[in-house]
Amino acid sequence: MAQIRNNFSEWINQQVGTTSTFAFSDALRTPSLSRLAAGVFPTRKDEEWKYTPLSNLLDTSPAEDTSAALDLESIEGLKQAMPDAHTIVFVNGEYSADYSDKLEHLGSSGLSISHLSQLEGNALQLAEDTILESTLTDDNIFQHIALGLSQNGLFIEVEKNVESETPLHIIHVSTAHGVSAFTNPVNVIRLAENSHLKIVEQYASIGEAAVITVPAGYIQLDDGAGLDYYRVSIENAETNHVCNTSVRVSGSGTFKSHQYLLGSKLTRSNLEVGFTGPGGEAVLRGVYLGDENQHLDVRTYLDHAQPHCSSDQHFRGILNGQARGVFNGLVLVREQAQKTDAQQSNKNLLLSRDARVDTKPQLEIFADDVKCAHGATVGELDSDALFYLQSRGIDKKDAALMLTRAFAAEVTQEIDIASLQAYVQSKIAASLDEIVTPNV
Partner 1 sequence: MLSIKNLQVSVEEKPILKGLNLEVKPGEIHAIMGPNGSGKSTLAHVLSGREGYSVDSGSAHYKGLDLLDMAPEIRAREGMFLAFQYPIEIPGVNNTSFLKKALNEIRKHRGEEELDAIDFLGLIKQQMKLVEMKADLLKRPVNQGFSGGEKKRNEILQMAVLNPTLAILDETDSGLDIDALRIVAGGVNKLRSADNAFVVITHYQRLLDYIVPDFVHVLSDGQIIKSGTKELALELEERGYDWLIEKAESQV
Q: Which residues are near partner 1 by CB under 8 A?
A: 382-385, 387-396, 398-399, 402-403, 405-407, 409-410, 413
Q: Whole-angstrom Cα distance, residue 325 to residue 365?
A: 26
Closer of 48 and 398 to partner 1 (Cβ): 398
| C-alpha radius of gyration, the chain, whole number | 21
Minimum Å distance from CB 396 to partner 1?
7
**Do 340 and 372 contact (CB within 8 A), yes or no?**
yes
Q: With contact defined as beta carbons under 8 Å apart, do 249 and 280 qualify?
A: yes
Q: Which is nearer to partner 1, 160 or 396 (CB)?
A: 396
| Nearest-angstrom CA–CA distance, 331 and 345 | 12
Write down the H helix ranges in 312-382.
none
Q: Which is nearer to partner 1, 305 or 432 (CB)?
A: 432
Q: In terms of CB distance, is 121 or 393 closer to partner 1?
A: 393
* Element counts in the chain: helices (H) and strands (E): 9, 21
Query: Edge to edge, what strands does the sheet with 341-350 contain?
Result: 94-95, 86-91, 168-174, 196-205, 226-234, 254-261, 281-290, 310-319, 341-350, 371-379
Nearer to partner 1, 200 or 401 (CB): 401
Closest to partner 1 by CB, 334 vs 397, is 397
Nearer residue to partner 1 within complex by CB, 194 or 390: 390
CB of 431 to partner 1, least distance (A): 17
CB of 349 to partner 1, least distance (A): 11
Q: How far is the CB of 425 from partner 1 (least distance, A)?
A: 11
Q: What is the DSSP string of 224-237?
A: T-EEEEEEEEE--T
CA distance 241 to 259: 13
What letters, b where the CB count within 10 A reaches 16 and e where it falls short, cover 310-331?
Answer: bbbbbbbbbbbebbbbbbbbbb
**What is the signed CA dihedral for 391, 393, 396, 398, rounded to 10 degrees?**
-130
Is 10 or 410 the residue whose CB approaches partner 1 more closely?
410
Q: Are 271 and 295 in contact (CB under 8 A)?
A: no
Q: How many CB atoms lie within 10 A of CB 205?
A: 28
Residue with Cβ nearer partner 1 (102 or 392): 392
Measured from the CB of residue 280, what is the shortest distance to partner 1 in angstroms? Answer: 30
Greatest distance between any 2 Cα atoms in the chain: 69
Least distance between partner 1 and beta carbon 377 (Å): 13
Distance of CA 245 to the CA centre of its chain: 7
For the bound state, the minimum distance from the C-beta of residue 333 to partner 1, rounded and expressed in Å, comes to 30
Distances (CA, A) of 210 to 4, 375, 413: 13, 36, 32
How far apart are CB 400 and partner 1 at their closest, in Å? 12
**Phi then psi dihedrals of residue 357, to 5 deg:** -140, 140
Least distance CB 256 / partner 1 (angstroms): 21
Q: Quote the least distance from Cβ 387 to partner 1, whole Å.
A: 6
Nearer to partner 1, 3 or 391 (CB): 391
